[in-house]
């Protein structure tokens, strides 16, 4: 059986029915929903819970195995949308607002941040790419738990 992320990456690489929403501030939630739908079309559920970040870790592992070298544009869009999903899980668990730069600048595109009410700022899309590049040492689930526990203090 082909891992889910591998199948999705093959699909987005071929351009088959996978156009993600245009990444603008007002549709980060839509990008996260798109990622969850893409994954869901393969029988894997991302339900918006912190616990679902365990699945996100597994998907990123699959993607690491499937992508040879640097991700192409459609693959990077899927990874960005998975980062939006991570951010939406954190935002829904703890509150906060998105800060988005100009999307014609690649650094600002990946630098989309989430700011909690207490002023703590996090960069979910960068965190997802860090997990993709560095592997399990940068686990998303552990990060998500830590970020939501901060709100319990």
Query: Tens of pLDDT along the chain (153 residues)?
Result: 345 555 555 555 455 444 544 445 556 888 899 899 989 888 999 999 999 999 999 999 998 888 877 888 788 888 889 999 999 999 999 988 888 765 555 555 677 889 888 899 999 999 999 999 899 999 999 999 999 887 555
Is 21 a member of any domain?
no
Please report whether residue 72 resides in a domain. Answer: yes
The predicted structure's pLDDT at residue 73: 79
DSSP alpha helix (H) spans, 100-139: 106-110, 124-134
Whole-number pLDDT of residue 104: 54
* Residue 17: inside a domain: no
Q: Please count the structural domains in the chain.
A: 1
The pLDDT value recorded for residue 108 is 55
The CA-atom distances, in angstroms, between 150 and each of 9, 42, 60, 114, 127 are 34, 33, 25, 14, 17
Task: Give the per-residue pLDDT at 100.
Answer: 74
Task: Provide the domain limits for residue 67.
Answer: 4-12+27-152
Establish if 20 belongs to a structural domain. Answer: no
97 located within any domain: yes
Q: What is the pLDDT of residue 140?
A: 97
Whether 80 maps to a domain, the answer reads: yes
> In the numeric block, which tokens belong to residue 65?
């195995």
Residue 76 falls inside a structural domain: yes
- Asked whether residue 39 is domain-assigned, the answer is yes
């Amino acid at each position: 059986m082909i891992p889910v992320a591998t199948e999705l990456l093959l699909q987005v690489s071929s351009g088959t029915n996978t156009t993600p929403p245009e990444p603008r501030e007002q549709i980060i939630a839509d990008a996260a929903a798109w990622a969850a739908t893409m994954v869901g079309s393969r029988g894997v559920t991302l339900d918006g819970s912190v616990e679902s970040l365990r699945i996100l870790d597994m998907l990123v592992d699959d993607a690491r195995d499937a992508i040879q070298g640097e991700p192409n544009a459609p693959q990077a869009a899927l990874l960005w949308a998975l980062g939006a999903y991570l951010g939406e899980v954190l935002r829904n668990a703890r509150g906060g607002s998105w800060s988005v730069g100009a999307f014609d600048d690649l650094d600002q595109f990946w630098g989309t941040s989430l700011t909690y009410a207490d002023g703590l700022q996090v960069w979910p899309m960068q965190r997802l790419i860090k997990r993709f590049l560095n592997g399990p040492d940068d686990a998303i689930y552990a990060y998500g738990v830590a970020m939501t526990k901060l709100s319990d203090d």
